[in-house]
Chains A and B, each alone.
Chain A
Amino acid sequence: QRMLLRLVLLSVFFAVVAARYIDSMNYGELRNFLDDQIMQVFIPRRMVRQERLQLLQIMELVDAIEIPRVNGVFLRKGPREAQTGTICILSHHLIFSPDPPSPGVKVVNEEASKELWLLHRMVDKVVAEPIAKDDPSRGGILALKLKNFLMLIFEVRSLNECFALSRSIERLSNLSGFQYEYPFYYRVPFTVLDDGWTAFDLEAEFAKLTVRAPDQFRISYVNENFGICPTYPEKVIVPRGIGDDYLRISATFRDGFRFPVLSYYHASTKSCIMRCGQPLIGPANRRCKEDETILNSLLAPHSRGIIIDTRNKNVGSAAKSKGGGVESQQCYSQWRYVFCGTPRIREMHDGLTKIVELSNDDRISSNHFLHRLYSTQWIHSITDILCASANVAQCIACEGTSEVPVLVHGGEGTDTTLAVCSLAQIILDADARTIRGFEALIEREWIAGGHCFSSRNAHSAYGEGVVTGPKESPVFLAFLNCVFELIQQFPLSFEFTEGFLLFLFEHSYASEFGSFLGNCERDKKEWRVKECTVSLWSYVNNPEILVQFVNSLYEPNEKVIWPSVAPQSIHLWSRLLHRWQMNWDEKDAVTKAAADAKLKEKALQSRVHSLKRQIADLAREASLITATNDGLKLTE
């Protein structure tokens, strides 16, 4: 039955394509093109169980392609110099293949003659317009604005083709539904040595924790089958003395059913970071004894905890009328309340839109630049988040030596709460500054922690307007930007490079891997993401891939890295914002030179060590000989 279906589809498809384009392609090209399509569509997927559904999806994907191929397209602006080529549209990719250089012309740039592959998901906004408004015969301009801020501008000879391309890409890049996501169709071209889906299991993390804090925490399975909180994973770490029944009741009191769970435990001060949703106090001033018990169980006798609210005071109080609110001082008398205002998700989204627009404007005057930089508020957002994280870290590592639990929440506790918790861990813990630790942090705090990647990252800076809803927001990007600021201040304390952050940024928006799919663990389970797709970490942890992200100057730093949040110390992340406008060779070369010197130094050091050993051996031998000689002399 399976084979039959495929055959039917193949023939249908073949017929359609042949009927439409047989005259515009020669046979060989057509053949190649079809092979590509077949590879895309007919690879046996692990996912394919409901055959008919799959078939429909494929039909829909194919159906969206109005025009699969356009010749003679001129790439006016992009990541390489201008050239002519062909655009092909596949169900998940757009391919721009440059025309082969005319014979006799020496190929100067090997890189430029390669094909350009682009995931449709990466496209943020498509704009198509005629080159000249009054003269449609001159063709059209197709501008693709990507989620990584790259802008591609094509000139297409025929205006109709241009519009058809635009419609196809627009539709393909905005398809909603898991079944269309590319990760389900992606085949791994490498062997998975270290499966990212199992590498960061909570139980293993917990085992590490129990060594450091025995009898304080336990794993709770209360959320099995996501029965209580849809955005939490099935297994969570909670204070040991608290029963599941308490958690259930507390969940009803917390926004999004996000009851307090452990985020981080700092072994040296025995303080911990907990996170949760805002309390649903509401206008009626509700209280929840069970929730209070959970929090108070963390306190050592006579100590006080700290609640850090990532909203500012006004937002926090205003939330009360909408059913939320802030913990009242009466009910939580042993907790100190601190507001660390961080930007809301809409502000961040607007900020990013504006700052990307600003960085694309390269003729702006210096003063105007500063003025607009100020008005984007992006730098403000970064500073605020970093400042809140530094505050959390300070509560954990500085204030008093004994156990100070810190509870972090904002509104729902799925955005800035996560950013603040994870940044505090990077500041505090040397482990989170290694590649593996950082992966674990993202997996634990962001992916399992319930940051809704699918909603937040549906569009990035250019998608303002019709295509965006109220949920898009670059929270994760802001987090990466904060990490960049830390790297900027401590370039030797991180095992990974700025490039790794950029890599994560791109993959969080469009990826062939399943890690950032869905809004929470429940989505992942429902769509069997873990079985059917490959984890990003499987790819990253492949030694051949990993090497490009390793900071060769890394010197493990066990100390807490206290960042400076003074406005003079916060720099624009130029590599993110001007990545496509500027040449980064100089910067890369400098880093490489430093890395080479370091490697050479290390090699020479080990050479000295081995020579030392050799000398010691030889010296011993020599002294033995001398002794023997002396002995001989004596006997003589």
Chain B
Amino acid sequence: ASAGSRDAPNPPRGVPPAYTEDVRVAGALLADKLLTLFEEVVGEERVFDDPNMRAQVDKVQLVDGRGAESNIVGTIHLTTSHLIFKGESEQKEIWVANNLIHSVERGPLSVAGCPLTVRCKHFQILHLLIRRDKECGDLFDSIRRCSQPLNIEELLAFDHRDGGEDAKGWSRLEWTIEFTRQGVDDSWVESDFNKDYAACDTYPERIWVPKTASKQILVGSANFRSKGRLPALTYHHKASNASLCRCENILLNEDERLMELIARTNGGEGEGGEPRELLLVDTRPMVNAMVNKVQGKGFEDERNYSGMRFQFFDIENIHVMRTSQAKLMEVQSRARSTTDYLKGLEASSWLKHLRAILECSHYIAKAIHTGTSCVVHCSDGWDRTSQTVALAQLLLDPFYRTIHGFEILIEKDWLAFGHKFDDRCAHVAAQNEEAAKEVSPVFSQWLDTVWQVFRQFPRAFQFNTRFLVHLHEHVYACQYGTFLGNCEKDRKDLAVARRTKSLWTHFDAHAEDYRNPFYEPTLYTDLLGVSTRASSIVVFSQLYSRWEDGILPRESIEDTMATSLDHIAVLQATIAAMEAKVAELKELTGRGSVGSSSCVSSFSAATAAHATTTMTSSLIAPKTMSRQETAESGVFDGSLTSSEDSILAGAAVRWQSLRDVDECSGRGCTVEFATRGEKRLHCHRCGKIFCRRCLRSSEKERLCRHCGDNSPQ
């Protein structure tokens, strides 16, 4: 069966994230009700060659962290790519990509067993109870080893079995197209001075600089910086003709010339031929900048620059953010009382940091909006600068609030300008203390700030919360090559575009999951009305409490609306088909009375052709019905199965309600959905909810296995 599914011409689209291939195999097997599932899966997955690695542990109990539910007994499988928990009796399956495992902890042995806690980077926490101490120890060592790859080439992304061409995903950002879209005028020009990453290895090869800047100035500017990250254009706001540049901090005062040239690109000259004011935004607190200056790293000295304004923002460094998020997660998982929670939240300062980023971005966006060009920098220009610059663009440009645009924004300001994903996310296990200090949730924090804006303007974004949550997971899961490497050069060296798949392709394929039903493309141009008051910034519980279903709201207006829209489209198609049918029948009866025999014979032929399908569907329909609860009896309108057209009759008018749906309704599957946040998809024909494995989508409709088999086509 596994071979069959691998050869399947049309692999089911839209597998839940983090488990593409493997799930496809597993899904096929499940549907065939093979009890030996995991032997097969493991056979497919590749077990470790090393005999020291423990691949399977039976009779493991999964403990609910909040003590609300009883333990689930199951088996743990460890493969080269995933940690899998499969419940024995219940349809519980947990798949965790090895790279998502953050840490494992062993607890003291107790009567119940040996506790093992697995913490994941996407905030899932598995509390396991293992019977024997020996097993627990082995599993502990094995998980630790496989979750900490020593070499980047060991990552899951390079292990993708079918290495089909993925040009579409890998060419998401085309600099020329993007800058043309932004409407960059001819005062900016593409410079080739970073060819082969000669001047700056953490920048892209192609950068845009003021046209008037000679190569000498650029080289000079790059040379006196420690990492050569000179001011380069990232965004040009057409409406106000202001541009946004980013760079690392300044060492000496030789930048004056380049800054002036940037200021001059602003087109309109101020009074008296002076260039318009240029805003230099330092995202660090003033104190940090001063310290740096003392150490000789320095910052721009106001006296050396005329027509420039300096602004400091209190965004803390990566170490503070790391500690802050750790505290936040501690509070999220431990706090039981309101007092603990609020105090812990305050102690973590996470919301304070979010607000600082939001305020800084808002300030930059406002300045750009009013026509003041900005140069943003921090220490290295790849953490705080990326956060604020990207968020400011999101506030300014509606294009970046579409799914496609958002991906370009990430490609541009995070990937191309060298945010160190390898180091910050610890794709390769941190080998020493130095490396451990490099780890910081800078990108997830930015996603959090994006969500804060999203929360205030749900109609301004094409994507939804699920998109951000899944994006966060994939940054760490390393299943796709997009977020590998520290900079563009790294990715080129690793040839990720050839050897791995792009995350964007995956997202494209699952667009229906990530579309925000409230999106109104033309409603907002800028989002400068965003509120940065303290009460507007709240904890992103869909991300941090994602795996604790009890905490999140039980019902969602957004999902209901998305389903409604989906259903409306299907109903409209059905109505069109029915109207055609009515017209046909009317014609028939009209002519029939006259007595046109040719028409009658064609009709009876059609009836005959449909007869078989009618038979099957009318036979099967009541059976599936009886399995459903009686409240859903309206789902299937049995009265029409006797009529001629099975397609029309078979389409359920009412769809299964989203309420309390935790399992797939496929026969033999009934697997639990991983979280409440996962999209529930209906079969267009029978109107019931299935998991991704049990659905097949075509251009026209999405059918469950059962309806698909009975489909007349």
Give chain B residues whose Cβ lies under 8 Å from the Cβ of A488. Answer: 553
Contact of A568 among B341, B557, B657 (CB under 8 A): B341
- Tell whether A626 pairs with B592 under 8 Å between CB atoms, given A566-B551, A616-B640: yes
Say yes or no: is A557 at the interface (Cβ < 8 Å to chain B). yes
Say yes or no: is B648 at the interface (Cβ < 8 Å to chain A). yes
- Tell whether A615 pairs with B603 under 8 Å between CB atoms, given A600-B564, A601-B571: no
Asked if A568 contacts B545 (CB within 8 A), the reply is yes
Tell me the nearest residue of chain B to A583, going by C-beta: B529
With a 10 A CB-CB cut-off, give which of B351, B355, B585 has the most chain A CB atoms. B585
In chain A between 429 and 456, which residues have their CB closer than 8 angstroms to a CB of chain B? none
Asked if A600 contacts B568 (CB within 8 A), the reply is yes
Say yes or no: is B574 at the interface (Cβ < 8 Å to chain A). yes
Give chain A residues whose Cβ lies under 8 Å from the Cβ of B561. Answer: 593-594, 597-598
Q: How far is the CA of A589 from the CA of B517 in the complex (A)?
A: 12
Asked if A597 contacts B582 (CB within 8 A), the reply is no
Say yes or no: is B432 at the interface (Cβ < 8 Å to chain A). no
Taking chain A's interface residues, is the majority helix, strand, or loop, or is none over half, making it mixed? helix
26 A-B pairs with CB atoms under 8 Å apart are A367-B349, A369-B535, A370-B345, A380-B338, A488-B553, A491-B556, A492-B555, A492-B560, A555-B659, A564-B551, A566-B550, A567-B342, A578-B535, A594-B557, A597-B564, A597-B568, A601-B568, A607-B571, A608-B578, A611-B575, A612-B648, A622-B589, A625-B589, A626-B604, A629-B597, A632-B595
Give chain B residues whose Cβ lies under 8 Å from the Cβ of A582. Answer: 531, 536
The segment out of A178-186, A198-206, A569-577 that lies at the interface is A569-577
CB proximity of A552 to chain B, nearest CB, Å: 11
Query: Which size class do A's interface residues fall under?
Result: 35 or more
Give chain A residues whose Cβ lies under 8 Å from the Cβ of B560. Answer: 492, 553, 594, 598
Give chain B residues whose Cβ lies under 8 Å from the Cβ of A371. Answer: 346
Asked if B557 contacts A618 (CB within 8 A), the reply is no
Say yes or no: is B332 at the interface (Cβ < 8 Å to chain A). yes
Q: How far is the CA of A368 from the CA of B346 in the complex (A)?
A: 8
CB proximity of B68 to chain A, nearest CB, Å: 9
Contact of A491 among B66, B335, B553 (CB under 8 A): B553
The segment out of B19-27, B229-237, B452-460, B661-669 that lies at the interface is B452-460
Asked if A367 contacts B352 (CB within 8 A), the reply is yes
Asked if A489 contacts B600 (CB within 8 A), the reply is no
Say yes or no: is A374 at the interface (Cβ < 8 Å to chain B). yes
Per-residue B-contact encoding for A351-380, CB less than 8 Å = 1, 0 else: 000000001001111111111011000011
Asked if B575 contacts A365 (CB within 8 A), the reply is no
Q: How far is the CA of A367 from the CA of B518 in the complex (A)?
A: 32
Say yes or no: is B57 at the interface (Cβ < 8 Å to chain A). no
Say yes or no: is A561 at the interface (Cβ < 8 Å to chain B). yes
- Tell whether A591 pairs with B554 under 8 Å between CB atoms, given A597-B564, A608-B571: no
Asked if A492 contacts B518 (CB within 8 A), the reply is no
Contact of A374 among B336, B342, B354, B595 (CB under 8 A): B342
Tell me the nearest residue of chain B to A605, going by C-beta: B653
Give chain B residues whose Cβ lies under 8 Å from the Cβ of A318. Answer: none
Binding site for B on A (CB under 8 A): 359, 362-371, 373-374, 379-380, 383, 488-493, 553, 555, 557, 559, 561, 564, 566-572, 574, 577-578, 582-583, 586, 589-591, 593-594, 597-598, 600-601, 604-605, 607-609, 611-612, 614-616, 618-619, 621-622, 625-626, 629, 632-633
Give chain B residues whose Cβ lies under 8 Å from the Cβ of A365. Answer: 352, 355, 534
Q: How far is the CA of A611 from the CA of B517 in the complex (A)?
A: 28
Per-residue A-contact encoding for B579-622, CB less than 8 Å = 1, 0 else: 10110011011001101010010011000000000000000000
Say yes or no: is B205 at the interface (Cβ < 8 Å to chain A). no
- Tell whether A618 pairs with B586 under 8 Å between CB atoms, given A605-B654, A608-B575: yes
Q: How far is the CA of A54 from the CA of B306 in the complex (A)?
A: 78
Q: How far is the CA of A87 from the CA of B637 in the complex (A)?
A: 64
Q: Which 5 A/B pairs are nearest by Cβ-Cβ distance?
A: A567-B341, A369-B534, A625-B592, A618-B585, A366-B352
- Tell whether A370 pairs with B657 under 8 Å between CB atoms, given A598-B564, A615-B648: no
Binding site for A on B (CB under 8 A): 66, 332, 335-343, 345-346, 349, 351-352, 354-355, 456-459, 517-518, 529, 531, 533-539, 541, 545, 550-558, 560-561, 564-565, 567-568, 571-572, 574-575, 578-579, 581-582, 585-586, 588-589, 592-593, 595, 597, 600, 603-604, 637, 639-640, 643-645, 648-649, 651, 653-654, 657, 659-660
Tell me the nearest residue of chain B to A606, going by C-beta: B653
Q: How far is the CA of A555 from the CA of B66 in the complex (A)?
A: 29
Tell me the nearest residue of chain A to B524, going by C-beta: A586
With a 10 A CB-CB cut-off, give which of B354, B564, B595 has the most chain A CB atoms. B564
Contact of A557 among B332, B349, B582, B659 (CB under 8 A): B659
Give chain A residues whose Cβ lies under 8 Å from the Cβ of B457. Answer: 586
- Tell whether A611 pairs with B582 under 8 Å between CB atoms, given A366-B537, A492-B555: yes
Give chain A residues whose Cβ lies under 8 Å from the Cβ of B346. Answer: 367, 370-371, 374
Give chain A residues whose Cβ lies under 8 Å from the Cβ of B588. Answer: 618, 622, 625
CB proximity of A575 to chain B, nearest CB, Å: 12
Q: How far is the CA of A374 from the CA of B574 in the complex (A)?
A: 55
Give chain A residues whose Cβ lies under 8 Å from the Cβ of B571. Answer: 601, 604-605, 607-608
Tell me the nearest residue of chain A to B578, going by C-beta: A611
With a 10 A CB-CB cut-off, give which of B338, B585, B597 has the most chain A CB atoms. B338
Q: How far is the CA of A608 from the CA of B551 in the complex (A)?
A: 39
Give chain B residues whose Cβ lies under 8 Å from the Cβ of A367. Answer: 346, 349, 351-352
Q: How far is the CA of A578 from the CA of B343 in the complex (A)?
A: 23
Tell me the nearest residue of chain A to B353, going by C-beta: A366
Asked if B578 contacts A564 (CB within 8 A), the reply is no
Tell me the nearest residue of chain A to B539, going by C-beta: A568
Give chain A residues whose Cβ lies under 8 Å from the Cβ of B553. Answer: 488-491, 569
Contact of B600 among A572, A609, A626 (CB under 8 A): A626
Q: How far is the CA of A211 from the CA of B568 in the complex (A)?
A: 42
Asked if A593 contacts B338 (CB within 8 A), the reply is no
Give chain B residues whose Cβ lies under 8 Å from the Cβ of A612. Answer: 578, 637, 640, 648-649, 653
CB proximity of B362 to chain A, nearest CB, Å: 15
Q: How far is the CA of A371 from the CA of B531 in the complex (A)?
A: 20
Q: How far is the CA of A493 from the CA of B343 in the complex (A)?
A: 32
Give chain B residues whose Cβ lies under 8 Å from the Cβ of A621. Answer: 585, 589
Give chain B residues whose Cβ lies under 8 Å from the Cβ of A633. Answer: 597
Q: How far is the CA of A540 from the CA of B603 in the complex (A)?
A: 57
Asked if B568 contacts A604 (CB within 8 A), the reply is yes
Q: How far is the CA of A559 from the CA of B597 in the complex (A)?
A: 58
Give chain A residues whose Cβ lies under 8 Å from the Cβ of B648. Answer: 612, 615
CB proximity of A623 to chain B, nearest CB, Å: 8
Q: How far is the CA of A612 from the CA of B338 in the complex (A)?
A: 55
Asked if B535 contacts A622 (CB within 8 A), the reply is no
Q: How far is the CA of A488 from the CA of B603 in the complex (A)?
A: 55
Give chain A residues whose Cβ lies under 8 Å from the Cβ of B338. Answer: 374, 379-380, 383, 567, 570
New A-B contacts (10) at CB < 8 Å, excluding given A363-B533, A615-B581, A633-B597: A490-B553, A559-B660, A564-B550, A566-B550, A567-B338, A567-B340, A568-B335, A572-B535, A582-B531, A625-B589
Give chain B residues whose Cβ lies under 8 Å from the Cβ of A632. Answer: 595
Tell me the nearest residue of chain A to B649, going by C-beta: A612
Give chain B residues whose Cβ lies under 8 Å from the Cβ of A594. Answer: 517-518, 557-558, 560-561, 564
CB proximity of A246 to chain B, nearest CB, Å: 42
Give chain A residues whose Cβ lies under 8 Å from the Cβ of B551. Answer: 564, 566, 568-569
Q: How far is the CA of A217 from the CA of B551 in the complex (A)?
A: 39
- Tell whether A490 pairs with B555 under 8 Å between CB atoms, given A367-B349, A604-B572: yes
- Tell whether A607 pairs with B575 under 8 Å between CB atoms, given A368-B534, A369-B534: yes
Give chain B residues whose Cβ lies under 8 Å from the Cβ of A383. Answer: 338
Q: How far is the CA of A492 from the CA of B563 in the complex (A)?
A: 14
Q: How far is the CA of A351 from the CA of B604 in the complex (A)?
A: 77
CB proximity of B550 to chain A, nearest CB, Å: 5
Tell me the nearest residue of chain B to A376, going by C-beta: B342
Asked if A366 contacts B534 (CB within 8 A), the reply is yes
Give chain B residues whose Cβ lies under 8 Å from the Cβ of A629. Answer: 592, 595, 597, 600
Give chain B residues whose Cβ lies under 8 Å from the Cβ of A597. Answer: 517, 561, 564-565, 568
Give chain B residues whose Cβ lies under 8 Å from the Cβ of A373. Answer: 342
Tell me the nearest residue of chain B to A375, going by C-beta: B342
